[in-house]
Amino acid sequence: MCLLSYGSKLAKEVRLVVRISGDNVSLRGLRRALYNFLFARANNGKFILQLALNRHGRQPRAKKIEALLDRFGLEQDEGPTVGGPFAPYSVAKRLKTYADVVERLIDTQCAYRCFCCGDAWKETDPTLKEPVKLPLCSSKCALRPRSESKIMARDGMPHTVRLKIAAGTFQYRDILEGMLPRPVPAMDQVLLRPNSMPTSFFANIVDNHTLCASHYVASTSRDFLQLPLMKPEKQELAQEEQQELDEQQLLQMFDMMDDNLLSDITPLSDPFPKGS
Strand partners, 160: 114
> In this predicted structure, which of 153-157, 184-188, 265-269 has the lowest mean pLDDT?
265-269
First to last CA, the chain: 40
Whether 196 has a pLDDT exceeding 50, the answer reads yes
Residue 268 phi, psi (nearest 5): -70, -10
Q: What is the pLDDT of residue 42?
A: 86
Q: What is the pLDDT of residues 16-37, one digit of tens each?
A: 888 877 767 777 777 788 888 8
Q: Does domain 95-198 have CATH number 3.40.920.10?
A: no
Whether 41 has a pLDDT exceeding 60, the answer reads yes
Q: What is the pLDDT of residues 89-140, one digit of tens each?
A: 888 899 999 999 999 999 999 999 999 876 655 555 444 444 556 667 777 8
Q: What is the C-alpha to C-alpha distance for residues 235 and 72, in angstroms, rounded to an integer?
A: 27
Whether 57 has a pLDDT exceeding 90, the answer reads no
For residues 105 and 219, which has the higher predicted lDDT (pLDDT)?
A: 105
Whether 240 has a pLDDT exceeding 50, the answer reads no
Q: What is the pLDDT of residue 234?
A: 60
Sign of the CA dihedral running 131, 146, 170, 32: negative
Q: What is the C-alpha to C-alpha distance for residues 225 and 217, in angstroms, rounded to an integer?
A: 6
Q: What is the pLDDT of residue 189?
A: 85
Q: Are 212 and 85 spatial neighbours (Cβ–Cβ below 8 Å)?
A: no
Q: What is the C-alpha to C-alpha distance for residues 228 and 19, in angstroms, rounded to an integer?
A: 17
> In this predicted structure, which of 10-24, 36-50, 118-132, 171-185 has the lowest mean pLDDT?
118-132
224 DSSP assignment? B
For residues 263 and 256, which has the higher predicted lDDT (pLDDT)?
A: 263
Whether 60 has a pLDDT exceeding 60, the answer reads yes
Domain-by-domain residue ranges, the chain? Answer: 9-86+212-231, 95-198
Whether 218 has a pLDDT exceeding 90, the answer reads no
For residues 1 and 101, which has the higher predicted lDDT (pLDDT)?
A: 101
